[in-house]
């Protein structure tokens, strides 16, 4: 049971930064970055408010994915491992593709 609780807490700790970015940077005057330290977005993004709204939604969905993985981990550690592996491989690729679509539409 302790392993299940640790898995749940770990997933919640992973979800927390995504939610913080999604909630607090939504109304920022600077574009929300996908890559840490990316300074090229200031010149590329034309409609920062709409871009940040879409990116905030994307980050919140990432947080939800980690919460679901944590719940899966709490129910069944095997299911949690599978979900985390999905989140950290194919999930990141899908999020990157969505980020590129958002960036292309607001550039």
pLDDT at site 36 = 81
Helix, strand, coil % in the chain, rounded to nearest 5: 80, 0, 20
pLDDT tens digits for range 4-57? 999 999 999 999 999 999 999 888 898 998 888 788 888 899 999 999 999 999
pLDDT at site 94 = 96
pLDDT at site 42 = 85
Mean pLDDT to the nearest integer, 79-91: 93
In this prediction the pTM is 0.89
- HEC string of the chain? CHHHHHHHHHHHHHHHHHHHHHHHCCCCCCCCCCCCCCCCHHHHCCCHHHHHHHHHHHHHHHHHHHHHHHHHHHHCHHHHHHHHHHHHCHHHHHHHHHHHHHHHHCC
Mean pLDDT to the nearest integer, 87-93: 94
Give the separation between CA 11 and CA 98, rounded to whole angstroms: 22
Mean pLDDT to the nearest integer, 58-85: 95
pLDDT at site 7 = 93
């Amino acid at each position: 049971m302790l392993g299940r609780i640790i898995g749940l807490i770990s997933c919640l700790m992973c979800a927390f930064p995504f939610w913080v970015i999604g909630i607090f940077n939504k109304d920022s005057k600077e574009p929300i970055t996908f890559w840490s330290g990316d300074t090229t977005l200031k010149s590329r993004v034309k409609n920062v408010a709409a871009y940040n709204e879409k990116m905030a939604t994307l980050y919140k969905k990432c947080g939800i994915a980690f919460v679901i993985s944590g719940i899966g981990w709490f129910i069944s550690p095997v299911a949690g491992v599978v979900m985390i592996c999905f989140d950290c491989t194919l999930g990141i690729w899908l999020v990157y593709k969505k980020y590129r679509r958002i960036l292309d539409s607001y550039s």
